[in-house]
Amino acid sequence: MRSFGYTLKQAFVQFGRNFNTGIVSIFAITAMLMILGVFFIAAINTNMAAEAIRADYDSIELYLEDDMTQESAEEIMADLQTMKGVEEAVYRTKDEAMADFRKRWGENGYLLDSLSENPLPDSIIVKISDLDLAEGIAEKCAGYEGIEDVKFYKNTVDKLLKITDYMQIAAAVIMIFLIIISIIVVSNTIKLTVFNRAEEISIMKYIGATNWFIRGPFLVEGIIIGVISAGISVGICALVYHKLMELLGEQLITTLGMPMVPEEFLIKNIAWIFAALGVSIGACGSIISMRKFLNT
């Protein structure tokens, strides 16, 4: 315990002595984590949108014009059920559609309470038994009178999944590049501390101090830099995402039918990821500098 207390105290003393270079390291790691956070937020929301649309993969939705009666819709439904590849056709009122939206978006459903009126149209949901015939069925559905729009999500999902794949690849490449830069910056910060304490370190080794006793403060100093950077990054990402939810959350749900990932879930996961990365970068930077300059 005494050794641990000395290591922790010495790490904070060293950080104070090299405050300016420590701040540079913190800014470097924070910038890296924030860029990673942007990609993470975009990727996870795109994934969620794709999964939400994927639920409608096996169906085609026909939006009806406002003046179409339910009797006219039932005539279209009867004709649809004679088509090859159609399992069933179901009429859905705008109120039922709104209820489905509330159920699907869960805790985000409160965003719909501010709507002055229900913007959703009545519709016919066509369940497809053979997805190979789906595109042909969608084209035929568009030919009925009284159909305002036809929504078939297969192509949209395929595009979203491709975008998600590209974003994940780009995030991985950028993350590796930025991690390397951050490790180098932290390593240079620790090197300055090693140079400043070169004589003291020589005396400690001469009187029998173990390698890990000497390494300890430098390792903890690097971890402190990483933890501070992670905390700042999580705070900024949380603030930015909260503002995005306020500005875009309701619009995405009401106009595009796409929810955004809940703040609590997203920030919790980002916090764990950033903490692990911050500690790892700080520790790696310290280890690299010590191996080279302490000859241990």
Using the predicted structure, report yes or no on whether residue 9 has a pLDDT greater than 60: yes
Based on the fold, state whether residues 211 and 119 are members of the same structural domain.
no
Together in a domain, 134 and 231:
no
Note whether 114 and 260 are same-domain residues.
no
Strand partners, 89: 126
Extract the tokens encoding 283.
Answer: 């520790």
CA distance 161 to 154: 11
Those residues with Cβ within 8 angstroms of residue 163's Cβ, 6 or more apart along the chain or in another chain = 46
Q: Is the pLDDT of residue 153 over 50?
A: yes
Mean pLDDT of the 61-65 span: 88
Per-residue CA distances from 221 to 5, 25, 128, 191, 251 (Å): 13, 11, 61, 12, 45
Q: Which of 61 and 197 is assigned the larger pLDDT?
A: 61
Tally of CA atoms within 13 A in the half-sphere of 34 that contains its CB: 17
**255 pLDDT tier (thresholds 50, 70, 90):** very low
* Residue that is written with structure tokens 């009797």 in the block: 71
Residue type, 48: M
Whether residue 143 is found in the same domain as residue 288? no
The pLDDT of residue 259 is above 80? no
What angle, 0 to 180 degrees and rounded to 10, lies between the N-to-C axes of helices 211-244 and 154-196? 140
pLDDT of res. 262: 78
Are residue 46 and residue 67 in the same domain, yes or no? no
47/163 same-domain check: yes
Kindly state whether residues 179 and 41 are assigned to the same domain. Answer: yes
Listed residues 102, 127, 152: the one ending a domain: 152
Phi-psi sector, 146: left (phi>0), alpha (psi -120 to 50), beta: left
- Report how many domains make up the chain: 2
pLDDT tens track for 162-215: 777 787 787 778 778 877 877 777 777 767 666 666 666 666 666 766 666 667
Asked if 112 and 217 sit in the same domain, the reply is no
Same domain, 49 and 63: no
Mean pLDDT throughout 126-143? Answer: 82
CATH number where 87 lies: 3.30.70.3040
The residue written with tokens 């819709």 in the block is: 73
Question: Which pair of structure tokens corresponds to residue 32?
Answer: 């890296």
Is the pLDDT assigned to residue 252 strictly greater than 60?
A: no
Domain boundary among 89, 120, 152: 152
Q: 200 lies in which domain range?
A: 2-53+157-293
Confidence of residue 66 (pLDDT cuts 50, 70, 90): confident
pLDDT surpassing 80 at residue 56: no
If pLDDT is split at 50, 70 and 90, which confidence band does 14 have?
low
Q: Which residues contact 291 (CB under 8 A, 6 or more apart)?
A: none
CA distance 59 to 53: 10
pLDDT digits (tens, 9 = 90+) for 74-91: 888 888 888 888 888 889
State the pLDDT at residue 291. 67
Q: Which of 189, 186, 256, 173 is nearest to 226 (CA)?
A: 186
Q: Decide if pLDDT at 117 tops 70.
A: yes
CB atoms under 10 Å from CB of 84, counted, come to 9
CB 121 within 8 A of CB 94: yes
Mean pLDDT across 259-282? 82
Q: What is the 3-state secondary structure (H, E, C) of 159-195?
A: HHHHHHHHHHHHHHHHHHHHHHHHHHHHHHHHHHHHH
Greater confidence, 215 or 34?
34
Same domain membership, residue 161 and residue 148: no
Q: Are residues 175 and 284 in the same domain?
A: yes
Beta-bridged to residue 149, according to DSSP, are 63
Same domain, 282 and 171: yes
User: What are the respective helix, strand and coil percentages of the chain, to the nearest 5?
Assistant: 75, 10, 15
Mean pLDDT of 112-138: 81
Domain boundary among 152, 178, 200: 152
